[in-house]
Structure formats: C-alpha cells, structure tokens
C-alpha cells in the first residue's frame, strides 16, 4: 500500500502584517499564540487599532500566550476555551467583515484547516490569508469507512473510535475534509498489519 511519496500537506506561511489590509482578523490556538505575538509586535499602532484577535486557550502542549496577547492595544481580543468555539467566533466575525479584511491563522494543523474552510466559505482568497503552523504535528484524521473524525492522532496506525477498524493514516491531506485520510490498515492482506510508527512529519 502506498502511504508515502505524495506530500499534500499545506505549505505554510510566516505571519507578517499585510499592508493592503484595512481590517485585520487574527485567529490562533494554543502555541499559535506565539506567531501571533510576533505578528502584533510588527504592526503599526494604526494596524493594531484595526485588528481583532480571536484566541483559543485549548492546547495539546499546554502553551498559553494570553498574557502576552493582552499587552497589545488591539481593537478587540476575544478569548475562547475551545478551538471549536474559536472557529465559530471566526465565522461570526467574517459574517460581518468589511471589504479589505485580511486574515491570519496560526496553531495546529486541524485548527488552521477548519478555520480555512470557514474563510473559504466567505470567498476569501489565498492572498488575503496567511497561515503559520505552530506546535506539534498531530493529525486530524477522517475515517474513509465510517466518516468519523479523530483529532490529535500521533501514530501511523490507530483504532477508529467510530467503527473500531484498524486504520492507517495516509500522507494525503484533503483540504476539503480538512483532515488526513485513514483507511483500513490490513486491506491488502487481511490480518497483516503494517509497521506502526510515530507521525513526525
Ligand atoms: Zn471508522
């Protein structure tokens, strides 16, 4: 079974202020606060005054940058306890966003992926969004057999909580699903399991 060779993982950017923006929306999660602090530090007072920050304190690595983010004079800082709430907050912000809004995303791959889906649903273009990955490379995996989403997958082979099949995580990242695909691990030779390994990409 081909599980390597195709690298479709998104290529990430570095967050820097986009001079073309009239309004700035910055959403981050956990360790993603660090690139956000750097971004805000690089902004002019005028850009800061036109910036709304959405920050989720949910983190896989217990990284919290809330105190540092509070030091900047931004238009608004909204804090969320979970990543799902932050993504809903992003949705609400984009629903009322004006022309000339620029979006900055940082955090885990899953957070960036789901946030990007929201941004795309509002017709935002790639040149209006910057994404910076932060923290560990845990994967969000979509089961091809039952459709269950598993967050924070760290190993190549794992048991799907939805259908209890042994799944192997493929390296193909689907932007549409905002997840990597998991397929039945012993589909080639029933009962024969591929070697397990830690995902370190
Ligand atoms: Zn499943």
Number of domains in the chain: 2
Q: Are residues 83 and 49 in the same domain?
A: yes
Q: Are residues 115 and 35 in the same domain?
A: yes
Q: Are residues 94 and 31 in the same domain?
A: yes
Q: Are residues 31 and 126 in the same domain?
A: yes
Give the Å distance between the CA of 140 and the centre of ligand 1. Answer: 13
Indicate which CATH number applies to the domain containing 88: 3.40.50.80
Strands 76-80 and 51-56: parallel
Which residues place a Cβ less than 5 A from the ion ligand 1?
143, 145-146, 148, 160, 162-163
Query: CA-to-CA distance for 125 and 20, rounded, in angstroms?
Result: 13
Q: Are residues 33 and 121 in the same domain?
A: yes
pTM listed for this prediction: 0.73
Instruction: Indicate whether 3 belongs to any domain.
Output: no
Give the Å distance between the CA of 75 and the centre of ligand 1. Answer: 43
Q: Are residues 158 and 78 in the same domain?
A: no
Residue 12 burial (C-beta neighbours within 10 Å; 0-12, 13-18, 19+) = middle
Half-sphere exposure of 114 (CA within 13 A, CB side): 22
CB-CB neighbours of 30 under 10 Å: 25
Among residues 185, 157, 53, 160, the alpha carbon closest in space to that of 107 is found at: 53
Q: Provide the domain limits for residue 103.
A: 23-133
Of 133, 163, 196, which residue is a domain's last? 133
DSSP state string for the chain: ---SS---PPPP------TT-SEEEEEEEGGGHHHHHHHHHTS-HHHHHTEEEEEE---SS----HHHHTTS--SEEEEESSHHHHHHHHHHHHHTPPTTEEEEEEE-HHHHHHHHHHHHHTT--GGGEEEEE-S---EEEEETTT--EEEEE-BSEEE-TTT--EEEEEEEEETTTTEEEEEETTSSSTT-PPPP-B---
Give the Å distance between the CA of 168 and the centre of ligand 1. Answer: 11
Instruction: Indicate whether 176 belongs to any domain.
Output: yes
Q: Are residues 44 and 67 in the same domain?
A: yes
Give the Å distance between the CA of 169 and the centre of ligand 1. Answer: 12
Whats the size of the chain, residue-wise? 201
Instruction: Indicate whether 32 belongs to any domain.
Output: yes
How does pLDDT run along the chain (201 residues), one tens digit per residue? 344 444 566 788 999 999 999 999 999 999 999 999 999 999 999 999 999 999 999 876 678 999 999 999 999 999 999 999 999 999 999 999 988 999 999 998 889 999 999 999 999 988 999 999 987 677 889 999 999 999 889 888 999 999 999 999 987 778 888 899 999 987 766 677 777 776 643
Return the pLDDT at 3. 45
Q: Are residues 122 and 151 in the same domain?
A: no
Instruction: Indicate whether 150 belongs to any domain.
Output: yes
């Amino acid at each position: 079974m081909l599980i390597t060779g195709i690298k479709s993982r998104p290529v990430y950017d570095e967050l820097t202020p986009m001079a073309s923006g009239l309004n700035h929306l910055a959403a981050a999660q956990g360790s993603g606060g660090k690139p956000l602090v750097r971004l805000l530090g690089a902004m002019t007072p005028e850009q800061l005054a036109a910036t709304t920050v959405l920050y989720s304190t949910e983190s896989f690595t217990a990284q919290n940058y809330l105190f540092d983010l509070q030091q900047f004079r931004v238009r608004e800082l909204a804090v969320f306890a979970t990543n799902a709430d932050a993504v809903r907050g992003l949705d609400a912000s984009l629903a009322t966003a004006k022309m000339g809004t620029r979006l900055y995303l940082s955090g885990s791959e899953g957070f960036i992926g789901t946030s990007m889906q929201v941004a795309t649903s509002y017709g935002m273009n790639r040149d209006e969004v910057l994404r910076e990955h932060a923290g560990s490379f845990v994967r969000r995996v979509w089961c091809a057999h039952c459709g269950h989403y598993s967050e924070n997958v760290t190993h190549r082979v794992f048991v799907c909580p939805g259908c209890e099949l042994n799944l192997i995580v493929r390296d193909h990242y689907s932007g549409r699903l905002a997840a990597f695909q998991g397929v039945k691990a012993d589909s080639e030779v029933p009962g024969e399991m591929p070697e397990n390994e830690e995902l370190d990409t």
